[in-house]
Amino acid sequence: MATKGSMFAGCTVALVTPFKHGDVDEAALRASVDWQVEQGTPTVSPVGTTGESPTLSHLEHELVIATVISQAAGRIKVMAGTGSNSTSEAVRLTKFAAKAGADAALIVAPYYNRPTQEGLYAHFAKIGESVDLPIVLYNIPSRTGRNIEPETVERLSKIAPIVAIKEAAGSLDQVSDILDRTNLTVLSGDDSLTLPMMAVGGEGVVSVAGNIVPGDVIRLINAFNAGDIALAQSIHRKLYPLCKDLLGLASNPSPIKSAMALLGRGTAEVRLPLVPLDERATEILRCSLVRYGLLV
């Protein structure tokens, strides 16, 4: 039976926001969309936390969403990041994404304010009542300070626009609980957990590694769906060390931006308070890319 948000199953790439001398590099952003289309990526997600949404101005946030939708031109789905720790701001951004032509909105749980479960429900319910756009919840308690508990996800799943959840709490038990309680599509929020989460019923990933190796992420998902578990495991084992470095050497997206710079696909420029990788971390990352076969 198809799940509620099965149109977003598979690989969604959490796009980085390229900068040039401190400003959003629109040309590089458009090129990254074209590259993802060429790679066969079904969906991209601009201005999530990988896209440095917390340090973009409101105008820049809208610019990135509009630019990606314009460049995608219907060739690839766009799941726009529209989360905020202000409910009214999240409503405004989500309405903007809907009007701009996004296919869905990815909405992170409010960070820093640490609302109660009732507050989390009220936040997402208010957004869901405000738009007719498919909504993907994003649970990442390590960054927000609050877990969206499965009971709350179950309540939210009854709100029509809410179709899926990007689950990054790192708990397969929590994923199983959500799948038991709801018919939402569950997407991994951690590249290294994509295969384990699919084994219990997840349907894909919102991927950071997909900025450089979307083809392998897609192959892993396709292999699992085709029942070729041995191939899926083989791709997982190849991806695992790279994914751990991309998410473990420093706060995301500093490592993935450095990896893209090493591969000649952009600059390592991030916005303060994030900083580029230091020499030691860059060398570890370089070795990881060599081992993977991406660098000579």
Query: 104-108 and 77-81: which strand pairing?
Result: parallel
Q: What is the largest CA-CA distance in the chain?
A: 52
Q: Any idea what DSSP says for residue 74?
A: T
Q: Which of 278, 206, 271, 213 shows the shortest CA–CA distance to 241? A: 213
The yes-or-no answer on residue 111 being catalytic is: no
The CA-based angle 48-54-60, given to 5 degrees, is 80
The yes-or-no answer on residue 138 being catalytic is: yes
Written as six digits, the tokens of 46 are 């601009």
- Residue 207 bridge partners (DSSP): 13
Say which of 77, 138, 257, 292 is annotated catalytic: 138
Say which of 77, 121, 166, 257 is annotated catalytic: 166
- In terms of DSSP H, where are the helices of 109-228? 117-130, 141-144, 150-156, 172-181, 194-199, 214-225
Q: CA-CA distance, 268 to 260, in Å (whole number)?
A: 7
Q: CA-CA distance, 76 to 33, in Å (whole number)?
A: 9
Q: Which of 206, 246, 254, 252 shows the shortest CA–CA distance to 49? A: 252
Show which residues are catalytic.
138, 166
